[in-house]
Chain A
Amino acid sequence: MEFTDILISLIKIIVMFVVVLVTVAELVYTERKISAWIQNRIGPNRVGWKGLLQPYADVIKLLLKEDIVPTAANKFIHTLAPVISIGVAFSTLAVVPIAGETISMFGREVQMVIADVNIGILYILALTSMGVYGLTLSGWSSNNKYSLLGGLRSSAQMISYELSMGLSVIGVVMVTGSLQLTDVVTHQAGWMWNMVLQPVGFITFVVAAFAETNRTPFDLPEAEPELVGGYHTEYSSFKFALFFLAEYANMITASAVITTLYLGGWQVPYLELLQLPSGIVVALQILAFVVKVAFMLFVFQWVRWTVPRFRYDQLMDLGWKVMLPIALANVIATGIVILLIS
Chain B
Amino acid sequence: MSSELIVFLVLAAVAVLSGILMITRANPVNSALFLILNFIALAGMYLTLNAQFVAIIQILVYAGAIMVLVLFVIMLLNLQDEEPLRETLTKRHYASLLFALLTLAMLIEAIGWMGGDTLDRMQQQSPLAVANGTVQHIGDVLFSSYVFPFELTSILLLAAMLGAVVIAKKRFP
Contacts and interface: CB of A to CB of B under 8 A. Distances in A.
Contact of B135 (A125, A139, A179): A179
Interface string B11-39: 00000000000000001011001001000
B68 A136 contact: yes
Interface string A69-80: 000001001000
B74 to A, nearest CB: 8
B72 A129 contact: no
B163 interface: no
Interface size grouping (class) on chain B: 20 to 34
B49 interface: no
Given A136-B71, A151-B75, A152-B72, A159 B65 contact: yes
A162 to B, nearest CB: 8
Contact of B56 (A126, A136, A162): A126
B41 interface: no
With most chain B CB atoms within 10 A of its CB, the pick from A130, A136, A139, A151 is A130
Contacts of B134: 118
Contact of B64 (A77, A132, A151, A152): A132
A126 B72 contact: no
A10 interface: no
A122 B64 CA distance: 12
B72 A155 contact: yes
Interface of A, secondary structure class, is: helix
A213 B76 CA distance: 23
A119 B53 contact: yes
Given A129-B68, A136-B68, A122 B29 contact: no
Nearest to A156: B72
Contacts of A119: 52-53, 56, 135
A132 B67 CA distance: 11
A158 to B, nearest CB: 8
Given A77-B33, A140-B29, A122 B60 contact: yes
Interface of B, secondary structure class, is: helix
Contacts of A136: 68, 71-72, 75
Contacts of A77: 29-30, 33
Contacts of B75: 136, 139-140, 148, 151-152, 155
B59 interface: yes
Interface in A141-192: 141, 148, 151-152, 155-156, 158-159, 162, 179
A155 B71 contact: yes
A133 interface: yes
With most chain B CB atoms within 10 A of its CB, the pick from A122, A148, A151 is A122
Contacts of B30: 77
A256 to B, nearest CB: 20
B45 interface: no
With most chain B CB atoms within 10 A of its CB, the pick from A77, A128, A133 is A133
A152 B72 CA distance: 7
B76 A152 contact: yes
A123 interface: yes
Contacts of B56: 119, 122-123, 126
Contacts of B69: 159
Contact of B60 (A126, A141, A156): A126
Interface in B56-87: 56-57, 59-60, 63-65, 68-69, 71-72, 75-76, 78
Nearest to A1: B3
A137 B33 CA distance: 10
Q: Shortest 3 CB-CB distances between A and B: which pairs? A: A129-B64, A126-B59, A126-B60
Interface of A: 74, 77, 118-119, 122-123, 125-126, 128-130, 132-133, 136-137, 139-141, 148, 151-152, 155-156, 158-159, 162, 179
5 contacts: A74-B27, A123-B56, A130-B64, A148-B78, A151-B75
